[in-house]
Structure 1
Amino acid sequence: MSEKVILVWFRNDLRIHDNEILLEAIRKADKVLPVYCFDPYYFQKTADGVTKTGNFRARFLLESVADLRKNLRALGSELIIRTGNPAEILPQLAETYQVNEVYHHREVAYEETDISEQVEAALWKIRLNLKHFIGHTLYHKEDLPFPIKDIPNSFATFKKKVERDSNVRHCIDTPENINTPEIADAGELPTLQQLGLDEPVDDPRATIKFTGGETGALTRLQEYFACSNAVTTGKGRNVSADHSSKLSPWISLGCISMRQVYWAVIKHEQETHIHTGALLLELLWRDYFRFMFKKHGKEFFANDDTETQPSASQDALFETWKKGETGIPFIDASMHELNATGFINNFSRQMVAGYLVRDLGIDWKKGVAYFEEKLIDYSPASNWGNWAFVAGLGHDPRDNRYFNITKQASELETKSGFISIWLPETVAVE
């Protein structure tokens, strides 16, 4: 009897802990073939000349894939790395290694689902099944108190019902070893230059160095708890909002699952009585936006009836916003930090987005595209969902009343080192 081989197609699930497709493949197959594809689609320029993936996020991705390979090798396995269209590469590998089935985690944003459909069609031509799993949310779809089509459009209602009537599943087991077919050519990790990008320059003003991979994610989680202990002056007090977890880059690539974070938070709170509710709230927002995409698809923005007619003056205003030259200190400092590090906190994102859309009158989708390029923690559902919310779109029935961003931002004090632009060439090297 021939051996059963299952190909595990890694995408935004770059971890060995709490990874259902990996563990299920180990249980169901004699041998498991882990694969990651660097799809050129994500490194192209759009029609507007914007790069879909900037160099900070691309470096973080490369580090994450390298860490996944290291962790798989520690379990006696290997990660095949290829650069190209997954719809071409996966069928080729399937035939080479006599694969019986392909596993992957289902996505919700239309670009990602379109790629899945292309892969599924290509595999079907060689009579192979692409099996879909759900592994990117805190609450499993099957555990929600309502079917997807009836999910409340209001976040407040969604939160209330889910927290009252649903439970977060516990993390699944971590594999102890993985039996993999003998691989002749595992492939090399591409360089940034091969992906068409320059090496990013790390800004000395950055408060954290984001290093991609599951190892870095677990380290950062413990650092966050240590920080929360340090800033808490009394038993049971909330952690300061200035000390955000900064876990989102690792969560976005699935280097750590939201369930891992959730249960680690619960354990930490039980042991220390220090509450970190803000972090759990952010996890729930991520769920909400993913489920909204699942429910509405491209119709998520159906009420956007704006006709964009870009003018020279609007283009000039957009450039001042991108470069942090608006004259509003908080806005400019936030944009300088985004450009220099690939990360700003959620409050800063809301402020710069509101300023672009409401004060400058620029099409919100231009902001979406710019954030996609720059953010190290870019996630389609969260990025589009948050921008739509700021723009007063989406399906949440609450009134998104106008508030004066310029006045609010101008009254914010900022001692940020990013108030001015840092030029790498002006820094002495010793």
Structure 2
Amino acid sequence: MSESTSLAWFRRDLRLHDNEALAAACDADGVLPVYCLDPREYGDRPFGGPDSFDFDKTGAHRARFRLESLSDLRSSLRERGSDLVVREGTPESVLPELAATVDADFVTVHTRPTPEESSVESAVERELGGDGVDLRRFWGHTLTHLDDLPMALSEVPDTYTTFRKAVESAVEGDEGGDAGRSGESAGDGDPAGRDPLSEPDVPPLPVDAPVAGDLPSLSTLVGTADAESARASDDRGVLSFDGGETAALDRVESYIWTGDHLREYKETRNGMLGADYSSKFSPWLNEGCLSPRSVKAEVDRYEDRRVENDSTYWLVFELRWRDFFQFQFAKHGSDFFRRGGIRKRTDVDWRADETQFERWTAGETGIPFVDANMRELNATGYMSNRGRQNAASFLANDLRLDWRRGAAYFETRLVDYDPASNYGNWAYIAGVGNDSRDRSFDVRWQANRYDENAEYVKTWLPELDALPAEYAHEPWKLSDEEQATYGVELGVDYPEPMVELDGS
């Protein structure tokens, strides 16, 4: 009987644990793990569609994190007698060539719901099919599996609360028996959640396996200047965010178990400074170094061994938010990337003002709470959830600039960028997404509520350090005499505000 060979195509699933696509590839006698650095994901690219614009597809922070993740995955595979073949090129050109080299019988991959990602899968499937090689897709990046939804994909609710309650009801019903199931629409799986898969035993490389190839340098992907900027650590950053499965599992251990921070997550999650006000699992979840099912398993274990409370529930609540947008993009597709969003709104007069947009990106709007968050993003690739909501609302609702420009800037800069979460949340804030309510944030109120002593603002805007908290949040209230007293001259040391906020 002839031996079988497979290709394990890694994408945003750079881990060995709970990896169904890898496990399926390991059913073969020989496995060639492969990652393609697609040139379409780097450099300036058109946004596409009506009213398109160019933007930098992948910034230095995420590119650094990705390269570190690939290096970690390669090391893990080598420790197990395998390797990771890395090639620069489009997957639809690279994978068929590698499949032919090792005479592969099939290729496995984790499917993704956004049009850009699914179109690459389709192109690969066509090219492989021409050579008689099967592409086997698996769904593995959400807490609830696609097949375990308690409704058909086309019937997934467009509001989070309705979605969450339906999934939670299915979980409770399943734990008590078969209640909550709705025939075929419930899928063939388990709404209560599938257990994480164990790490598979990785078969040896095929006899004709090609050389693994070197990982490119960061400067090759993003340019020398941006690479140097991303490597420069900023001690104001909340976390170093080292890429890779090893770092991901270390973060889970340190946050949940060593630091025992999970028990207070709900109370601290709106923090702005420090490593542990929130889990900060998102970079590893979004690059696939960490499985959401493995996080849920750790929460369950924590509840069994230490405490079950609102905070432990709330971390799972946030994982379901992440799920919600994944299923929304699977349902609505490219409509999420249109300026009018899934609601197809035409009643908003979105403006185009490059000067105002550039002031927003640079953290020079004259609104300290917005500026501090944007400067943190630029320096570190990260921003708190509270900061993201306020920065997005200011651009979309106070400036009325095209929200997609802001979302695309976050795509460039965020170390934890995920297309569904990023564009779904931006559309939500801009009023073209999953909520018909006005999602405009009162930035002044938010600043005083979540940064009461202006510690966060002063950390990222040291030019305002001498000001009392009230003025640090609203420096435009300073009289000429007070500006002289505190040594902060508006328009010189710190910008005048771009717009007058309500109540200013």
Same fold (TM over 0.5): yes
* Distance in 2 of aligned mates of 1:30 and 1:11: 22
Q: 1:194 to 1:167 in 2, by over 3 A?
A: same
Is residue 2:460 matched to residue 1:418? yes
1:131 to partner: Cα distance: 1.1
Q: Does the 8 Å CA contact 2:34/2:85 hold for their aligned counterparts?
A: yes
- Summarize deviations over 1:262-287 as a string: whole Å, max 9, x none: 11011112211154333212210110
Task: Indicate whether 1:334 and 2:368 are aligned.
Answer: no
1:21, CA displacement in angstroms?
A: 1.1
Aligned 1:239-388 pairs, distance under 5 A = 240-241=268-269, 242=271, 243-273=277-307, 275-300=311-336, 301-302=341-342, 303-305=344-346, 311=352, 314-388=353-427
Q: Percent identity?
A: 42
Residue 468 of structure 2 aligns with which residue? none
Q: CA deviation at 1:395?
A: 3.8
Q: Could you say which residue in structure 1 is the equivalent of 2:438?
A: 400
Q: Any conservation in 2 of the 1:109–1:381 contact (CA below 8 Å)?
A: yes
Which amino acid letter does the alignment assign opposite residue 194 of structure 1? Answer: T
Q: SS of the residue aligned with 2:55?
A: coil
Q: Which runs of 5+ in 2 are unaligned?
A: 47-52, 171-190, 272-276, 464-504
Change (3 A) 1:403 1:19: closer
Q: Which deviates more, 336-345 or 126-135? A: 126-135
Q: What is the CA–CA distance in structure 1 between the aligned matches of 2:327 and 2:428, rounded to whole Å?
A: 15
Q: Which moved more, 1:71-80 or 1:92-101?
A: 71-80
Which residue of the partner structure matches residue 37 of structure 1? 36
Q: Which amino acid in 2 is paired with 1:225?
A: I
Deviates further, 89-98 or 296-305: 296-305
CA contact (8 A) 1:214 1:256 kept: yes
Query: How far is 1:239 from its partner?
Result: 5.1
Letter in 2 for 1:116: E
Question: Paired residue for 2:247, among 202, 212, 216?
Answer: 216
1:194 maps to which of 209, 220, 233? 220
Q: Distance in 2 between matches of 1:178 and 1:39?
A: 26
Maintained 8 Å contact 2:407/2:423: yes
Query: CA separation in 2, counterparts of 1:404 and 1:337?
Result: 20
Matched, 1:113 2:118: yes
Change (3 A) 1:76 1:204: same
Question: How many pairs does the alignment contain?
Answer: 415
AA in 2 matched with 1:35: V
Using the TM superposition, give the Cα deviation of residue 363 of structure 1 relative to its aligned residue in structure 2, in angstroms.
0.7
Question: CA-to-partner distance for each residue in 1:350-370, whole Å, 9 max, x for gaps?
Answer: 010001111111110001110
Report the AA paired with residue 379 of structure 1: D
Q: Could you tell me which residue of structure 2 aligns to residue 426 of structure 1? A: none
TM-score normalized by the length of structure 1: 0.91
What residue in structure 1 maps to residue 3 of structure 2?
Answer: 3
Question: How big is the shift at 1:231?
Answer: 8.8
User: Is the 1:91–1:123 Cα contact (8 Å) retained in structure 2?
Assistant: yes
**Alignment pair present for 1:57 and 2:62:** yes
Structure 1 counterpart of 2:253, one-letter code: Q
Q: 1:228 to 1:305 in 2, by over 3 A?
A: farther
Quote the residue 2:499 is aligned against. none
Matching residue's letter, 1:297: G
Deviation at 1:196, TM superposition (A): 3.5
Q: Distance in 2 between matches of 1:403 and 1:206?
A: 25
The amino acid of 2:237's aligned partner reads A
Code of the aligned partner of 1:305: T
Kept in 2, the 8 Å contact 1:356–1:367? The answer is yes
| Match runs of 1:64-103 below 5 Å | 64-103=69-108
Secondary structure of residue in 2 paired with 1:376: coil
Please report the TM-score for the alignment, with normalisation by the length of structure 2: 0.78
| SS of corresponding position for 1:149 | helix
Indicate the residue corresponding to 1:425 in structure 2: none
Q: Which has the higher contact order (CA 8 A, sep 6+)?
A: 1
C-alpha distance in 2, partners of 1:91/1:176? 25
1:330–1:410 contact (8 Å) kept in structure 2: no
After the TM superposition, which residues 152-167 of structure 1 pair with which residues of structure 2 at under 5 Å, given as runs?
Answer: 152-165=157-170, 166-167=191-192
Task: Note closer, same or farther for the CA distance 1:352–1:401 as it changes in structure 2 (3 Å cut).
Answer: closer
For residues 108 and 74 of structure 1, the distance between their equivalents in structure 2, rounded to whole angstroms, comes to 32
- Deviation of 1:75 after TM superposition, in Å, equals 1.4
Residue 177 of structure 2 aligns with which residue?
A: none
CA–CA distance in structure 2, aligned partners of residues 179 and 239 of structure 1: 48
SS of the counterpart of 1:327?
Answer: coil
Q: Distance in 2 between matches of 1:410 and 1:360?
A: 21
Structure 1's consecutive aligned runs of 4 or more residues displaced over 4 angstroms after TM superposition are 236-239, 306-311
1:13 matches 2:13: yes
5+ residue gaps, structure 1, are: 422-430
SS state of the match for residue 330, structure 2? helix
**Can you list the C-alpha shifts for 1:371-398, whole angstroms capped at 9, x where unaligned?**
00000000000001000000111244x4
Other structure's SS at 2:169 match: helix
- Deviation readout 1:186-207 (Å, 9 max, x if unpaired): 1111111221433212212112
